[in-house]
Amino acid sequence: MAENITITVDGRTVDVPSGTLIIEAARKLGIEIPTFCYDDRLRPVGACRMCLVEVEKMPKLIASCATPVAPNMIVHTDSEKVVKARKGVLEFLLINHPLDCPTCDKGGECPLQDNTYTYGPAESRYGENKIRFIEDSKNQKFDDIRLGPEIFLNRNRCIMCFKCVRIVRDLAGEADLGVFQRGSFANINVLEEIELDDEFSGNTVEYCPVGALTSKSFRYKIREWLLKKSPSVCNLCSDGCNMNIEWSRGEVFRHMARRNSGVDDGWLCDRGRYGFDLSRAQDRLVRPHIRRDNKLQACSWDEASALLSKHLQNIIDTNKGSEVAAVGSPILSNEEAFAIRRFFSDVVKSENVDFQTEYPKPIEPELLDLIGLDGSIKDLESDSTFVFIGCDPAVEHPVVSLRIRKAVSTYKAKAVFISSHDKKLGYFPITNIRIPFSAEAAAVNYLVSRISGKTTGDMADFKIDPDGLNRLADNLKNAGRIHIIAGREFFNHPDRAALLVGLIKLKKSTGAKLSILPPQGNFIGVSRFGLFPSLGHSFENMLERIESGEIKTMFVFGANPIDEYPDRKYIHDVLKNLEFLVVVSPFANATASLASVVLPQAMLPDYGGTFLNIEHRAQKFTPMTENPHSDVKPAWAILGELSSLLDMGNIWYSDSQVRKVMIDTIKEIEGLDNLPDNGVVIRFPAKDGYDPGDVSLAEPETPGIDYPYIMNWTPSAHHHGWITEKSDNLMRISGKQIAWMHPDDAAREEISDGQVLRIGTAETALNLPVIITTGVNKGEILIVNSFSANPVNRLLKKGRPTTFVSVRKS
């Protein structure tokens, strides 16, 4: 495969690996061949014929997008024949095209328009009727069809490049979109009862070469040329997809992919894409508030800062730094995290910082080195066996899961999921090995014993059916590149210590890569740059100290513990004990409503900074340069100003200044001040040889008679955490909270599909519609979390990630 082939394009020679397409070889010489249907990331179809070139000794023109180079090819991309053929193709494309450019959303960024301008015929010779597809709905006629909650299709503008179909089918592996009819009447559509709403659907709109596909949230709002672009990085999960935030007069209109081949490869998931309206959400905090007369009332920054500095000055003067705690969150930038740590240890003299408000138990410090992706995102394409434990890549890491989908769909890799409920990668073939809820640790330990030929112990205690695991163990013994990936459920796992031990052993016994992937945005950045409680109290301990009165003041940055912490009642009661609670947040939220002071925090795209993604890649995001929210500030700015009010000097006037200090303090992040467009992977020295030793498995819990079901929860692909609920777009796409249960359980409880259930403990309950499916275990109720109307943490009890519930018709 490695051999190179030399070809000549327009008189210049180029050397390319065999298998390279002619169009790519030309590109290497800087020769752009016009296309419509070609995309280097999608299977070539050679359908539009725009890319025809002349190859000497070949009787016909050939599609450069679908033909690999051959030795000594002599290619002409601009010969008379080629020019004529292109003109012909464009003329053909336009005969049934509506030419409604003035009212078309694609105007200004339309490849059909651009190519016609450059290569097309000067005038139209077409005088016949155009084919018109009309959608007849409720006695009204429309050109547009609603394909899903966000996406509309005008088939008349479609030029049949098949990109959308390839994106939906070959890339995402969804069967939502298809081609119907044939010939001149061939058209793209969905089936009546099916919606185009998979987690990548927005890419179809971005890559449609005409205005056929449009987004509800963008269309008819603004012309493309009025938009300014701020290069940014999505932080709604930890993949770190690059994007442009496109805005005008301080209003964000859309997010578009900004291709970083090593990370997102130019794809954006719908959560990241359509979450663009977050910064203008209804609940957005734009002014400081202080509590007066037991009510939060808007005030000026001067007032709020004066109050804060007075309070802190008192603490500093009385040396009571240890009575203060600061809580951050993975939505913060690296600079914010660093500044928080710096401020509290240097100015306030408190080491009580943490960001782990979501977990029942804090992470062991040694675990930090294991968190993140083993290898690069790109490397995933060459792994051959993926074993997912407590991780749902489609939901937690949508765009990174595309690499895995690619490997799986081309039969280069197998994906195996060990879980209590079925997971999927579109319709691509995967294996689900079902185990009882939270039996991951037992299952992994079983696998390890089986692989190393030791006695496997009795699985009956854990009610694990060993068949699937046996098969997996046998396969792992002679598999190629194995990659074990743990995710969100790992962090919430009741027996996390034992699971970790098992995973490390499994890695050793199979020579696998092991990745433990946190789903939340800048988890790795905030933990590496200051918010990990290395010297002070973890969040869990802070709560106890608040109860005992040792901690009296708390600052919360970007977090919302009341919605996050896995015991809502407890955290609420504890936080009420605080004398002084400061909430710095982009949004009003449940925690803020308890605060003494609430400060409006900057979020994308109000400010600039950097994030670290799962592969420890530092990437830069930039603000829009006009912002009507003049009062919102990033944490480092707030703390910098406070610091100067406290006469400690403000050293932070910009994110790059914070970075300078960071670089001075932390050696290994040298490149951080001068990040290239595609970011830099930072290699933190690992404290190697971490051996957690042996841990015995926790006894499985058994449900009681009154509360026979175990409750489990999952995020959804479009919505995870309390923030995304603020996005009208995302709620429109996936705003329905549901629960799943097994048909046997449903039959026993006489519950039918779609019925609203009361899912509860002795104290409280949630009311949710149910979907009945064999995709979950018997005895398990799986709930989509992160909806404030029915928060799962209302059912949970401190220290335990799960609970037993009863189920009744509501």
Partner 1 sequence: MADFEKILFKNIDFPDQDKIDIYIKNGGYNALRKALDSMSPESVTEEVIKSGLRGRGGAGFPTGRKWTFLPKDSKRPVYLTVNADESEPGTFKDRELIEKDPHLVIEGTLLAAYAIKCGQAYIYIRGEFAFGARQLNKAIEEARAKGFLGKNILGKGVDIEIIVHRGGGAYICGEETALLTSLEGNQGYPRVKPPFPAISGLYSAPTIINNVETLSNIPYIINKGAEKFSAFGTAKSPGTKIFCLSGHINKPGNYELPMGIPLRELLYEYGGGIKDGRNLKAVIPGGSSVPLLTADKVDVRMDFESLAEAGTMLGSAGVIVIDETVCMVRAAYNLARFYQHESCGQCTPCRQGTYWILAILERIERGRGSLKDLDKLLEICENIEGNTICPLGDAATPSVKSTIHHFRDEYEYHITEQKCKVSMGPRFE
Partner 2 sequence: MGTTVNKLLSEKSIKELNRLKGLYPVRKSVVLMVLHVIYDQFGYIQPEALKEAAGIMEIPLIDFHQAASFYTMFPREAVGKYHIQVCRTLSCELRGSQELVAFLKEKLEIDMGGITSDSMFSLTEVECLGSCGTAPMMQINDTYYENLTRARVEQILDDLRSKSGNG
| Distance in Å, CB of 113 to partner 1, minimum | 16
Task: Give the per-residue contact string, 414-433, with partner 2 (x = CB under 8 A; - = no).
Answer: -------------x------
Q: Does 62 bind partner 2 (CB under 8 A)?
A: no
Q: Does 394 bind partner 1 (CB under 8 A)?
A: no
- Strands 803-809 and 756-760 turn out to be antiparallel
Q: Which stretch binds partner 1 (CB under 8 A): 63-71, 434-442, 562-570, 701-709?
A: 63-71
Residue 22 and residue 68: Cα distance in Å, rounded? Answer: 6
Q: Which stretch binds partner 2 (CB under 8 A): 48-56, 180-188, 208-216, 347-355?
A: 180-188
CA-closest candidate to residue 416, choices 393, 442, 448:
393
* Count of residues touching partner 1 (by CB under 8 A): 39
Strands (E), 410-538: 414-419, 431-434, 482-486, 513-516
CA-closest candidate to residue 613, choices 380, 337, 334, 370:
334
Residue 385 and residue 513: Cα distance in Å, rounded? Answer: 10
Q: Are the C-beta atoms of 619 and 603 separated by less than 8 Å?
A: no
Task: Give the per-residue contact string, 127-166, with partner 2 (x = CB under 8 A; - = no).
Answer: ----------------------------------------
> In angstroms, what is the C-alpha Rg of the chain?
28
CB nearer to ligand FES: give 63 or 669.
63
Q: Does 185 bind partner 1 (CB under 8 A)?
A: yes
Q: List beta partners, residue 190.
A: 177
| Distance in Å, CB of 185 to ligand FES, minimum | 20
CA atoms within 13 A on the CB side of 266: 10
CB nearer to partner 2: give 91 or 422.
422
| Distance in Å, CB of 353 to partner 2, minimum | 45
* DSSP three-state, residue 446: helix
User: Which residues from 725-764 bind partner 2, rule CB under 8 A?
Assistant: 743, 753
| Distance in Å, CB of 171 to partner 1, minimum | 17
Q: Choose the one of partner 1, ligand FES, partner 2, none that binds residue 38, judging by a C-beta under 5 to 8 angstroms depending on kind.
A: ligand FES
Q: Are the C-beta atoms of 405 and 745 separated by less than 8 Å?
A: no
- Which residue among 9, 23, 44, 514 contacts partner 1 (CB under 8 A)? 44
Strands (E), 408-562: 414-419, 431-434, 482-486, 513-516, 553-557
Q: Does 50 bind ligand FES (CB under 6 A)?
A: yes
Q: Choose the one of ligand FES, partner 2, partner 1, none that binds residue 51, judging by a C-beta under 5 to 8 angstroms depending on kind.
A: ligand FES
Q: Which stretch binds partner 1 (CB under 8 A): 55-63, 308-316, 328-336, 568-576?
A: 55-63
Residue with tokens 């503008």, as numbered in its chain: 157
Q: Does 685 bind partner 1 (CB under 8 A)?
A: no
Q: Do you find a cis peptide bond into 605, omega within 30 degrees of 0? A: yes
CB nearer to partner 2: give 265 or 745.
745
- Which residue among 67, 189, 727, 777 contacts partner 1 (CB under 8 A)? 67
Distances in whole angstroms, Cα of residue 619 to Cα of each of 106, 459, 528, 636? 30, 45, 15, 18
* DSSP three-state, residue 37: coil
Type of residue found at 529: F
Residue 310 and residue 300: Cα distance in Å, rounded? Answer: 16
CA-closest candidate to residue 646, choices 345, 315, 320:
315
Q: Which stretch binds partner 1 (CB under 8 A): 53-61, 484-492, 594-602, 740-748?
A: 53-61
Locate all alpha helices (DSSP H) within 577-653, ordered by sequence.
Answer: 635-645
| Distance in Å, CB of 36 to ligand FES, minimum | 5
Q: Does 188 bind ligand FES (CB under 6 A)?
A: no
Q: Diameter of the chain by CA atoms?
A: 90
Q: Choose the one of partner 2, ligand FES, partner 1, none that binds residue 85, judging by a C-beta under 5 to 8 angstroms depending on kind.
A: partner 1
Q: Choose the one of partner 1, partner 2, ligand FES, none that binds residue 35, judging by a C-beta under 5 to 8 angstroms depending on kind.
A: ligand FES
Residue 713 and residue 723: Cα distance in Å, rounded? Answer: 17
CB nearer to partner 2: give 57 or 182.
182
Q: Does 194 bind partner 2 (CB under 8 A)?
A: yes
What's the CA angle centered on 165, arms 163 and 166, to 5 degrees? Answer: 65
Q: Which stretch binds partner 2 (CB under 8 A): 83-91, 177-185, 322-330, 612-620?
A: 177-185
- Which residue among 107, 671, 708, 775 contacts partner 2 (CB under 8 A)? 775
CA-closest candidate to residue 510, choices 545, 488, 485, 480:
480
Q: Does 46 bind ligand FES (CB under 6 A)?
A: yes
Distances in whole angstroms, Cα of residue 225 to Cα of each of 193, 248, 274, 403, 623? 37, 10, 20, 33, 19
CA atoms within 13 A on the CB side of 376: 14
For 622, residues 6+ apart whose C-beta sits below 8 A from its C-beta are 230, 231, 232, 605, 608
CB nearer to partner 2: give 147 or 482.
147
Q: Choose the one of partner 2, ligand FES, partner 1, none that binds residue 773, judging by a C-beta under 5 to 8 angstroms depending on kind.
A: partner 2
Q: Choose the one of partner 2, ligand FES, partner 1, none that binds residue 774, judging by a C-beta under 5 to 8 angstroms depending on kind.
A: partner 2
Q: Does 410 bind partner 2 (CB under 8 A)?
A: no
Q: Does 35 bind ligand FES (CB under 6 A)?
A: yes
- Which residue among 38, 355, 491, 532 contacts ligand FES (CB under 6 A)? 38
User: Which residues from 152-181 bind partner 1, rule CB under 8 A?
Assistant: 159-160, 162, 179, 181
Helix (H) or strand (E) holding 207: helix 202-207
| Distance in Å, CB of 391 to partner 2, minimum | 22
CB nearer to ligand FES: give 46 or 703.
46
> Which residues contact ligand FES by CB under 6 A?
35-38, 46-51, 63, 65
> Which residues contact partner 2 by CB under 8 A?
175-182, 190-191, 194, 427, 743, 753, 771-775
